[in-house]
Structures are given as C-alpha cells and as structure tokens.
Amino acid sequence: MAEQTTITELEEAVIKFAGDSGDGMQLTGTQFTTNAALFGNDLGTFPDFPAEIRAPIGTVAGVSGFQLHFGSKEIFTPGDICDVLVVMNSAALKSNIRNIKKGGIIIANTSGFDAKNLKLANMTSNAMEDDSLGNYQVIKMDVTRMTREALTDIQLGMKEKDRCKNMFVLGFLYWMFNREMDNTIKFLTDKFGKKPEVLEANLRVLKAGYSYGDTTETFTTRYKVEKAVMPAGTYRSIMGNQATALGLVAASKKSGLPLFLGSYPITPASDILHDLAKYKSFGVKTFQAEDEIAAITSAIGASFGGSLAVTTTSGPGMALKTEALGLATVLEIPLVIINVQRGGPSTGLPTKTEQADLFQAYYGRNGECPIPIVAAQSPSDCFNAVYEACRISVQHMIPVILLTDGYIANGAEPWRFPKESELEEIKIEFAKPMAEGEKFMPYARDEKLSRPWAIPGTKGLEHRIGGLEKQNITGNISYEPENHEFMVKLREEKVERIANYIPEQKIDSGPSKGKLLVLGWGGTYGALKAAVRELNEEGFAVAHAHLRHMRPFPKNLGEVLHNYDKVLIPEINNGQLVKIIRDKYFIDALAYNKIQGLPFFKSELMDKIREILK
C-alpha cells in the first residue's frame, strides 16, 4: 500500500493531453471532459489538430492535442496555460512546453523519449534525462511498457495492444483527480461490445492506469475539483460548429421554412456541412457545390424559391462569394452567410483562428453594399447567433453575415440547451396570391423597409428580379440618377433600421460607467469576461461589453461608449472593429491586438488592462 496521499482541492484546473495523431488524445480528452461534465464541473475545451492530415509519426507536425479547463467556478475559456500536461512523446513535449505553468505537472510517457522519437522531434538532448524541466514536476512513466504488461495474456497483436496506451493515461488522470470512471467504462462497452478482446484490453489498461496511481509510492498529491454552481437544467457538451448546425435546424423549424445549405468544403467550416447532411429527417437539403460561387448562388436560388437558405465557408471561400453577396443585396432576399474565420491572408493558417475577416464582411464588395453582421461569442452561443442571423434575414428580407471563428467552432463547452417550445417563433409570411388584375409590386416596402417574399408557384406574383439597379416599389430596372441615390440610401437605411429590432447593448461585467470599457466581439468573449471579472474582483473599475450585432450596432452603443473615459478594443487581428468604432463614434478607442492564430490569454489581457489603468 502506498503512503497516504494528500488530496488538494482546486477551484479549477487545466489539463492538456498531447501526443501523436495516432495516440488517441482527442478521445482521451473527450472522455475526461464528459466525466467532468457529468460530475457537474463547468468547463471549456479546445482541440488542437495538426495542419496536416497525418504528418509522419513522431514529428512535431503530427502532434495532436486536447485542452480541458474545468472547475468549481464559472469557466469561460479552455484556459491559458495548463496545470497538467500529458505528453506521449518527445514531439508533444516540444510543441507544448511553452503552454505549461511554471511548477506545473508534466506526465511523460518515457518510451516516447527514446533515440528515435527524440530525433523525429528534432531534439538534441533528452528532456527526461537533462535538467531542462527543472521548473516542473515531472512524472515519468513508461506507458507503453506498462500497457503491454497489463495485456500479456490477451490475444491481440502488439499494434492493437499499443492502441490502448491512452487508456492508461486516462485511468491515471482519473486517479489523480479522484474521479469515478463509470462513463468511460460505459463508453468502451458500447464501443467495443462486439469485440470482447478489445474491450477487455481497454478496460484492463484503464484500470491499470488508475491502480498505478494508487499503488505507486511516488505520487503523493491528488486533486479534487468540486462541482460548480451552475444554473439548474439539462446540459450537453457542444462545439461551435455543431451549435451552428443545430441553430439552423431550429430556425428552420421555428420559421416553418425548409432549410437549404449550399456549401463547398473548407476548414474550419466543413463540419457544419457534415452535420447538416445528417439531418435529412428534418428535411434539410445540403448541396455540396462545385465551388463557393455555386454554393452561394445555389442558396440564392433556393431563397428565391422560399427556403431558409444558407451558405457556409471560411475566409478564402468568403472572398469568392463577394460578387454574389452584391446580387443578394440588390435582390433583397434572405440569405445567411456563415464565415468561420481562420488565419489569413490567402490560404494563411488554415487550422488556426483569427478575427480578421470583419473588414471583409463590412466592406468587401463592389459598390455601396451594406450587409448586416452578427457575431457568435462562444461554442454554445453559435446557436443563438445563427438563430438571430436567420431571424433578421428572413424578417428583414436581407442577406446576413454570421462571423464565427475556428476557435469557437472547434471549442466545446457545456450547454444548457433550450427546449423547442422555449425558442421564439420566427414569424414570416410569403406574399399572397394577387387578385385578378391587381399588379404585384415586388419592391413595395413595410415599416422595416423590407419587401415581399414572393415565391414561384404563387399565382399572380410572377416577377423578375436581378442585379441591375431597381426602381423602388416596382422593382423595374432603373438608370435614373435620383433613383440610384435613393436606393443606395434606402438599402443603408434598411440595415440601420434593424437596430429597432435588436436589444440594446448591455454591459456584461463591471460598472456601467467608469474609467475603462473593454469592448469585444466574437470568440474573444470568454477570455475578456474572465479577465475583466478577475480584475473586478481585484478591485479594478473596468467593464466588459461584448457585441453580438456588428452591423448595425445597437442604438445605444455610442452612449455606452461615452460612459467611460477610455475604451479598449482587443481583437485577434491587426485592428478592425477599432477602426470602425473610431470612425463612427469619433472616440479615440485603443486597440489591443494579437495575430498569432491563437486566442487571447486571460493573463495577457489582464496585464494590458492593468497597464492602461495605471
């Protein structure tokens, strides 16, 4: 029996599982996440895939990681840097060493540090032997050997046995964090029910990992992270892209409009297409087009036909859609364009996140072509954001751009998902058949300035629309100078008027007047909120507001901004919202930018804010 271990209670912890793409780290991370969720922790996760499909085994390019942040307090991000880093090989250590806290725990699979692995990772010295890890608590264990030993009498090939390695680590972590393992046992049983040998092997290794902690003398500390106090309700875990897909189906259901997606695959947006393609039982039609132009124009066709029409893409694909965005604007038909932003310009950093397509969304078209913009702020919030984008689009007869990003698209968090009955109806009405002899006016307008949605198949509504300038009311082509000016201003006003149908801007955290407002948008929400909350606790008079509506802005935004001496706008780009705000509200807003394909760390935000408030 091992000497008595102490159990330390933590408010929160960040664990990162890192190994080769073939090491099953995503699965390990997800299992631990489920466990934490079921236990009642609040949490946030982020997977960190290699850019290549399957980079050579053992190389830095092939490292796959999964980061989990869980706690007994509210959690807003997957965490800046980790308390515990699991590394299955040298490359995993090399590419993650700077993501671990000083004094943090590194759990290293020593067999991943043999000469071959060191060489593949381009490491000249063995970190298991030299003193380069002096600042950390290193727990070395030969996972490979122990896994094999646990399975000596099992009838499986060596390769298959080795595939259980991740269960050893998982078992050990469960021990370390003092967890039950039921969910994983159930998962394995469901998954391998038909392959009893494999099931047995996995279970055995899982338990071996747990016992290893229990029986080995070296480990004297275990941790405990209590349940979080979270609003009562039923939760699930959700990733941003999943939430976007669900939001679309929900909007389709609650508007009564059939959902049509025209899309062309592109990282990190493809998963929305993949998910929607599964939802055939909801009548969802997904059309994988030959390119992004066909994707958006097919959606325009579907919208003309009366569908809730959507197109999904990422930066370079968005560039290809810009001509058609102009068409949709002049046609004044509903269309939801989703850009899951990634690092640019050009092909850029396809698997990394960025917020650098805001300008493109705002201004990236020929001519005066204003389009409303909505932004999602967290994985689960993608649901609300896309629902809102659909609502605006169909009720205001206008294309709407939704901006999400790679970070929230692939990140996950617990979601207290709504019931169908709780979702607000999206009321729309198609134009009604005309009485004999009456003439249909396709560009007549209501108080929102929106025009009728008159779909083929409706008697008497035959009409023609197109990209040439339209005469108001009749919708006929018009080259009249005054009409053009009128229509340009009308389209602008139509966008602006949406401000009458959206909530006012609220302060998320902090005082409603004061020294500094931190204004954010999109996927930086969690980091900004966490930073500001913590500074509030430290006594700093800083507030945080986060924009859902990027165009038009909520009506009271100017007022809100003027309530603070200074406004800081942190963005994962080189300064975009800040320029729009400076122009529009004529306030000397400060920019804080990070352009590394990575989200903000709470700590760097806190440093920056402290510096400003000094």
Partner 1 sequence: MAETLTATNGEVLTAKDFATDQEIRWCPGCGDYSILKQVHTILPQLGLKQEDIVFISGIGCSSRFPYYTETFGMHSIHGRATAVASGLKAARPELSVWIVTGDGDGLSIGGNHTIHLLRRNFDMNILLFNNEIYGLTKGQYSPTSPENKVAKSTPFGSIDHPFNPIALALGADATFVARSMDRDPAHLQNMLLRSYKHHGSSFLEIYQNCNIFNDMAFESYTEKSTKKDEALFMVQGQPLVFGANNEKGIKLDGFKPVIVNLEEGASKDDLWIHDEHDMVKANIISRFFDHVDVEGHLPRPFGVFYQTTRPTYEDMMSQQIAQVITAKGEGKLDKLLAGSETWVIE
Of 40, 364, 511, 558, the one binding a second copy (CB under 8 A) is: 364
Of 582, 603, 604, 613, the one binding a second copy (CB under 8 A) is: 582
Site string for a second copy, 292-331 (x = CB under 8 A): ----------------------xxx-xxx-xx--xx-xx-
Question: Which of the listed partners (ligand TPP, a second copy, partner 1, none) does 101 bind, with a CB threshold of 5 to 8 Å by partner kind?
Answer: none
Which position has the token pair 């001496």? 565
Question: Which of the listed partners (partner 1, a second copy, ligand TPP, none) does 78 bind, with a CB threshold of 5 to 8 Å by partner kind?
Answer: none
53 binds ligand SF4 (CB under 6 A): yes
Least distance to ligand TPP from the beta carbon of 574, Å?
Answer: 22
Give Cα 379 distance to the centre of its chain.
Answer: 4
Question: Which of the listed partners (ligand TPP, a second copy, ligand SF4, none) does 54 bind, with a CB threshold of 5 to 8 Å by partner kind?
Answer: ligand SF4
Of 122, 189, 216, 347, the one binding a second copy (CB under 8 A) is: 347
Least distance to a second copy from the beta carbon of 577, Å?
Answer: 11
Given a contact cutoff of 8 angstroms between Cβ atoms, the answer to whether 294 and 412 are in contact is no
Of 116, 191, 195, 459, the one binding partner 1 (CB under 8 A) is: 459
* Nearest CB to ligand SF4, comparing residues 53 and 158: 53
Give Cα 287 distance to the centre of its chain.
Answer: 23
**CA–CA dist 342, 318 (Å, integer):** 11
Question: Which of the listed partners (partner 1, ligand SF4, a second copy, none) does 244 bind, with a CB threshold of 5 to 8 Å by partner kind?
Answer: none
Least distance to partner 1 from the beta carbon of 223, Å?
Answer: 21
Question: Which of the listed partners (a second copy, ligand SF4, ligand TPP, none) does 53 bind, with a CB threshold of 5 to 8 Å by partner kind?
Answer: ligand SF4
Q: Kind and range of the H or E element at 489?
A: helix 481-497
The three-state DSSP-derived secondary structure of 167-197 is HHHHHHHHHHCCCCCHHHHHHHHHHHCCCHH
**CA–CA dist 538, 551 (Å, integer):** 34
Q: Which of residues 497-526 bind a second copy (CB under 8 A)?
A: none
Least distance to ligand SF4 from the beta carbon of 52, Å?
Answer: 8
Of 302, 385, 426, 580, the one binding partner 1 (CB under 8 A) is: 302
Strand partners, 402: 338, 374
* Nearest CB to ligand TPP, comparing residues 16 and 321: 321
362 binds a second copy (CB under 8 A): yes
Given a contact cutoff of 8 angstroms between Cβ atoms, the answer to whether 340 and 298 are in contact is no
Question: Which of the listed partners (a second copy, ligand TPP, partner 1, none) does 445 bind, with a CB threshold of 5 to 8 Å by partner kind?
Answer: none
Given a contact cutoff of 8 angstroms between Cβ atoms, the answer to whether 41 and 228 are in contact is yes
Least distance to a second copy from the beta carbon of 360, Å?
Answer: 5
Length of the chain measured in residues:
614
The size of the interface with partner 1 (CB under 8 A), counted in residues, is 94
Give the closest residue to 411 by CA, choosing from 571, 599, 264: 599
Q: Which of residues 424-443 bind a second copy (CB under 8 A)?
A: none
496 binds a second copy (CB under 8 A): no
DSSP states along 540-594: --EEEEEESEEESPPTTHHHHHHTEEEEEEEESSSSSHHHHHHHHH----EEEE-
Return contacts of 279-287, CB within 8 angstroms, 24+ apart. Answer: 279/245, 279/249, 282/249, 282/252, 282/253, 283/252, 283/258, 283/259, 284/249, 284/252, 284/258, 284/259, 284/260, 285/258, 285/259, 285/260, 285/261, 286/261, 287/260, 287/261, 287/262, 287/263
Residues near ligand TPP (CB under 6 A) are 264-266, 292, 316-317, 320, 323, 347
Least distance to a second copy from the beta carbon of 318, Å?
Answer: 6
Which position has the token pair 């269960």? 167
Site string for partner 1, 41-60 (x = CB under 8 A): -----------xxxxxx-x-
Least distance to ligand SF4 from the beta carbon of 364, Å?
Answer: 31
Which position has the token pair 């901004």? 561
Of 265, 511, 558, 597, the one binding partner 1 (CB under 8 A) is: 265
Burial of 345 (0-12, 13-18, 19+ CB in 10 A): exposed
Q: Supply 52's token pair.
A: 């290549």
Q: Which of residues 341-380 bind partner 1 (CB under 8 A)?
A: 346-347
Least distance to ligand TPP from the beta carbon of 327, Å?
Answer: 10
Q: Kind and range of the H or E element at 215?
A: helix 196-215
Q: What is the DSSP letter of 276?
A: H
Task: State how far the alpha carbon of 269 is from the alpha carbons of 595, 596, 606, in Å.
Answer: 20, 20, 31
Least distance to ligand SF4 from the beta carbon of 49, Å?
Answer: 13
Least distance to ligand SF4 from the beta carbon of 61, Å?
Answer: 12
277 binds partner 1 (CB under 8 A): yes
| Chain positions contacting ligand SF4, by CB under 6 A | 53-54
Q: List residues near a second copy by CB under 8 A.
A: 51, 314-316, 318-320, 322-323, 326-327, 329-330, 341, 343-352, 354, 356-357, 359-360, 362-369, 466-469, 479, 481-482, 484-485, 488-489, 491-492, 573-574, 579-580, 582-583, 586, 588, 594-598
